[in-house]
Amino acid sequence: MSFYHQFDYIFAIAIIFAFLDAFNIGANDVSNSFSSSVSSRSLKYWQAMILAAMMEFLGALLVGNRVSDTIRKKIIETDTFENEPTVLMLAMAMALVGSSIWLSIATLIGMPVSTTHSIVGGVIGVGIATKGADNVIWGWKGFAQIVASWFIAPGISGCIASIVFLIAKFTVLEIKDTQKAVRNALVLVPILVYVTFSVLTMLIVWKGSPKLKLDDLSTGTTVGAIFGVGAVACFLYMLFIFPVVKRKVYYQDWRVKWYDIFKGPTFYFKSTDDIPPIPEGVQLTIDYYAGRRPNENANSKKIDEENIEALEDSKQSVTSYTSNSVVSTEKPEKTSTLWFRLLKQGPKQWPHLMWLVVSHGFTKDVISDQVNHSGVLGANVKDMHKKSKFYDNRLEYLFSLLQVITACTMSFSHGANDISNASGPLSTVYLVWSDKSLKATPPLWILGFTGGALVIGVWTFGYKIMSVLGNKMILQSPSRGFAIEFGAAITVVMATQLAIPVSTTQCAVGATVFVGLCNQDLRSVNWRMVTWCYMGWIFTLPIAGLISGILTGIIINAPRLGVEYFPSN
């Protein structure tokens, strides 16, 4: 095997910035997959991070090849570089540089942007810098198709999400008889389990990864796998989860625990006559709307004042009480200040410092950040929540179980689609550097490498964008979150099958806005946040393109050492 060893440094640059690009894909884009689940309290933040790491990596590894091919070969005419392959190698490396720099800036300022826009802009920028605007495939088979998907995909995902939510709304959520609503939900949820698992299976086996030999399955095998897995998943749900959920929610058995699903079949034969009444102070399910009800903060403030007054009368130290806990009135030390203080204290404190740095990302209180009313973007969050409907927690609980499945599906499809933004250009650089044909299948290690970087980004900085979205855009709940994730996931799945690198950011935001509008009030959506998202999308492509194009132009036209130049007249 031969290599362009004189350009090892370009390959090294591509490796570094592909890692940074994938890192920022995880940090910026992962919120689209799990923001709704965390915001609605269906998952705790650390649980979401574990699932995100698993599903994003598997999606990238199993299905990431397909869209990588579009990013590599269908935006600029790679055939024009046939006699200058090393220039193409440099161009793709600079595309990664421009994309990763802009994504880093956007993530730091809390702007949710499209990572697809970013790399497409970078590739277009280097294409113009090297071969001119004519080298870019502007037609429907290239750039135009991608641009169209940015507008069509949010609409499609929004329509699917709103239809699913309206079905749930009118068949379950808004039925006044709660017991009847629960019965309806117990019928609806298994159907949705079947559909969701079938869609996920379709993503894996239909034109799957060539490296795993999933790209040449027969039609019969593919169809059988899709419907078979859906049926098996539905059967397992009915066998283990359904009887436990029914006993807890319909019969209101407060003693049921999550681990009872392992003995789920036995609940079909258990008597419901011996279920004791719910003790005072015991909640059947968690409160999915805690901290977001219109009068909740006012009541908490009143309780705070009464508690503080009582403490002052008894001459105790003054502390501030919330409705759930006692918190010191002293302002918490800033993270950066704490890190610097531990650093100055010497090597004995450095292990503690290292742990704080590593755990900083997944120990953040994301929901508190989302309901924070400070700043321009969050100023109207309280009024926005007042315009939304709050549904029974028992009904929301049924959808919370389903939302975990859709979140994983969305995360898997996100890993399959968006990892191409980093792996596509890196694949081109590697294939040129190793003197292989651009038509060759990219090696699996590239998908694994960029997938690993994405996971690290999720764990360390995923909270940044997740804190901006969620409850700051609409009032989130498991029923709404399920519809949002389901609509966005199906849209991304279909786009991946068609090898169109759609923006998962726009799919998620489009679905969120449409579900918010199902409240039949324009004020139930935070349009300031929607505008902030669109600003990010508008700026991303030209900025990433300018950075990549300018860098490429400077490098390929720079003076060479040992080459004599003469002034022109």
Tell me whether residue 142 is in a domain. yes
Q: How many other C-beta atoms lie within 10 A of the C-beta of residue 304? A: 14
User: Residue 195's CB: how many other CB atoms inside 10 A?
Assistant: 16
Measured between alpha carbons, how far is 306 from 471 in angstroms, rounded to an integer?
29
User: Per the structure block, which two tokens stand in for 457?
Assistant: 């980004």
> Is 346 among the domain residues?
yes
327 burial level (CB within 10 Å; 0-12, 13-18, 19+): exposed
In this structure, the answer to whether residues 325 and 366 fall within a common structural domain is yes
Q: Are residues 358 and 431 in the same domain?
A: no
Which residues constitute the domain of residue 12?
5-158+407-477+488-556
Whole-prediction pTM value? 0.80
Q: Give the CA count within 13 Å in the CB-facing half-sphere of 443.
A: 10
The number of C-alpha atoms within 13 Å of 138 and in the hemisphere containing its C-beta is 6
Q: Report how far residue 429's alpha carbon sits from residue 452's, in angstroms, rounded to the nearest whole number.
A: 19
CA-to-CA dists, residue 568 to 104, 559, 562, 565, angstroms: 41, 15, 19, 9
Rounded CA-CA distance 142/376 in Å is 38
Asked if 414 and 495 touch (Cβ cutoff 8 Å), the reply is no
Residue 418 domain-assigned? yes
Q: What's at 171, amino acid-wise?
A: T
Domain shared by 456 and 328, yes or no: no
Count of other CB atoms within 10 angstroms of residue 315: 6
Give yes or no: residues 513 and 380 share one domain. no
28 within domain boundaries? yes
Last residue of a domain, one of 386, 416, 434: 386
User: HEC states along 280-296?
Assistant: CCCCCCCCCCCCCCCCH
Is residue 247 within 8 Å of residue 272, measured between CB atoms? yes
Q: What is the DSSP letter of 136?
A: B
Which residues is 320 bridged to in the sheet? 327
8 Å CB contact between 470 and 35: yes
Does 50 reside within a domain? yes
Are residues 40 and 137 both part of a single domain? Answer: yes
What are the start-end ranges of the H helices in 434-566?
444-466, 478-497, 504-517, 527-556
- Residue 271: inside a domain, yes or no? no
Residue 251 CB: number of other CB atoms within 10 A?
15
Same structural domain for residues 137 and 13? yes
- Is residue 377 a contact partner of residue 526, using CB atoms and an 8 Å limit? yes
Domain ends where: 341, 356, 386?
386
Per residue in 406-457, pLDDT (tens digit) is 888 778 877 777 777 888 889 889 988 887 766 666 788 888 898 889 888 8
Residues 357, 53: Cα–Cα separation, whole Å: 19
> 150 and 12, same structural domain?
yes
Same domain, 521 and 420: yes
Under DSSP, is residue 321 helix (H, G, I), strand (E, B) or coil?
strand
Cβ pair 40, 478 in contact under 8 A = yes
> Among 211, 264, 222, which Cα is nearest to 241's?
264
Q: Quick one: 414 and 374 in the same domain?
A: no
Number of domains the chain is built from:
2
Alpha carbon 340 to its chain centroid, in Å, reads 32
Digits of tens for pLDDT over the chain (569 positions)? 567 888 889 999 999 999 999 999 888 887 767 888 888 888 888 888 888 888 888 877 776 655 556 565 567 777 777 788 888 899 999 999 999 999 999 998 888 888 888 988 998 999 899 888 887 878 877 778 777 777 888 899 999 999 999 999 999 999 989 899 999 999 998 998 998 888 778 767 765 655 566 667 788 888 898 899 999 999 999 999 999 999 999 999 999 888 899 998 999 998 888 888 988 888 888 888 887 777 665 454 444 444 444 444 443 443 333 334 444 444 555 666 777 777 777 777 778 777 777 677 667 767 766 666 566 776 778 888 888 889 999 999 988 878 888 888 778 877 777 777 888 889 889 988 887 766 666 788 888 898 889 888 888 888 888 877 778 889 999 999 999 988 887 887 777 677 666 777 788 889 999 999 998 888 889 888 888 888 888 888 899 999 999 999 999 988 888 788 778 76
On whether residue 62 sits in a domain, the answer given is: yes
* Cα distances (Å, whole numbers) of residue 344 to 73, 323, 349, 355, 357: 51, 37, 9, 16, 15
Tell me the torsion sign for CA atoms 279, 281, 282, 283.
positive
**Contact indicator for 423, 92 with CB cutoff of 8 Å:** no
- 3-class SS of residue 320: strand
Please tell me whether residue 452 adopts helix, strand or coil conformation.
helix
Quick one: 529 exposed, middle or buried, by C-beta within 10 A (0-12, 13-18, 19+)?
Answer: buried
> Residue 451 corresponds to which amino acid?
G
Q: Is residue 350 part of a domain?
A: yes
Strand, coil or helix: 332: coil
Asked whether residue 64 falls in the same domain as residue 141, the answer is yes
- Shared domain for 331 and 455, answered yes or no, is no
From CA 151, how far away is CA 502, in angstroms rounded? 10
**Residue 436 and residue 510 in one domain:** yes
